[in-house]
Amino acid sequence: MQFDFKDERYNRQENMPEWGKTGQQRVSQGSVAVIGAGGVKSTLLMALVAGGIGKVGIVEFDTVELSNLNRQLLYRTPDIGSAKGVAALKTLVDLNPDIDIRLFEEKITRQNVDRLLDPYEVIVEGGDSPDGRNTINEYCLRTNKPMIHASAQFSYGYVFTMIPELKSACFACLFPTDHSRKEHTGPVPVNVLSTSIAGTLGAAEVFKWFLGHKANMYFNRRLTFSSLLLSGKFQVDDIPRNPLCKCCSTYHEKEYLHAI
């Protein structure tokens, strides 16, 4: 097999049979909004930008703290005290200046979610509270957009995707009781292994979408892992859609009534 290894940014992935130049063209036309630029999202954003996702929106309003640096790989010690989104933008532009990266220094609310997310095809959620995540979940159900949820704490983490067009399980199906909390429980113990693995798995879901590997995405199931400090194992849990879910069942019922 002959490979084309000219000195070009994407040649190593373009020579992958499951990627190819046609796939790279689709990736370059892709648009993704990422809510948050913390630990999991640091690795995820760097993967998206390095891989050539054409348009990336970042919603981030926090500041860089010393405690971030054990896992939030977008930031450096001199960034402490600066706006997190601005520091993230600089790192990402340095990584790949060809990407259209937009920064929104706002907190996602039900009042601004449409304005911030409408220009993007895929949403990577990461609200600062369960209520923020519910807002993204409801927005994606309403607009029929895929939502990718990647998370990590302690030495474990997971990735889960909702695809409304396939009527898959939503965030509220995944967390039938916890999703209703309004406030975040606060900082949790975590390490760079967990956040980096979760961020990579989340980025993989994004690339699968644009490369045409939708069937391999983790919808109606959740991929969980324990990082190298513990078992080092991966497992897949089935997450069926709850037909009585107070979130997605409402939107699917509206779709059905509209269709008839």
- The domain in which residue 53 lies consists of 11-259
How many domains, in total, are found in the chain? 1
The reply to whether 5 falls in a domain is no
The reply to whether 4 falls in a domain is no
The residues with which 150 forms a beta bridge, in sequence order, are 159
142: its two tokens:
């309403």
The reply to whether 96 falls in a domain is yes
The reply to whether 1 falls in a domain is no
Mean pLDDT over each residue of the chain, to the nearest integer: 91
pTM (predicted TM-score) = 0.93
The residues with which 222 forms a beta bridge, in sequence order, are 160, 237
What number is the average pLDDT over the span 241-254?
84
Give the pLDDT score at 127: 61
Place of tokens 């979408």: 209
What number is the average pLDDT over the span 55-77?
97
Identify the CATH number of the domain in which residue 110 sits. 3.40.50.720
The reply to whether 49 falls in a domain is yes
The reply to whether 212 falls in a domain is yes
With a pLDDT cut of 90, the percent of the chain lying above it is 81
The reply to whether 203 falls in a domain is yes
Residue 163 contacts residue 200 (beta carbons within 8 Å): no
Give the pLDDT score at 182: 56
Give the pLDDT score at 13: 96
The reply to whether 172 falls in a domain is yes
Residue 226 contacts residue 232 (beta carbons within 8 Å): yes
Q: What is the pLDDT of residues 134-164, one digit of tens each?
A: 999 999 999 999 999 999 999 999 999 999 9
The pLDDT-based confidence of 258 (bands split at 50, 70, 90) is: very low
Give the pLDDT score at 254: 60
Long-range contact list for 88-93, CB < 8 A, 24+ apart? 88/37, 88/42, 88/45, 88/58, 88/60, 89/58, 91/46, 92/45, 92/46, 92/49, 92/56
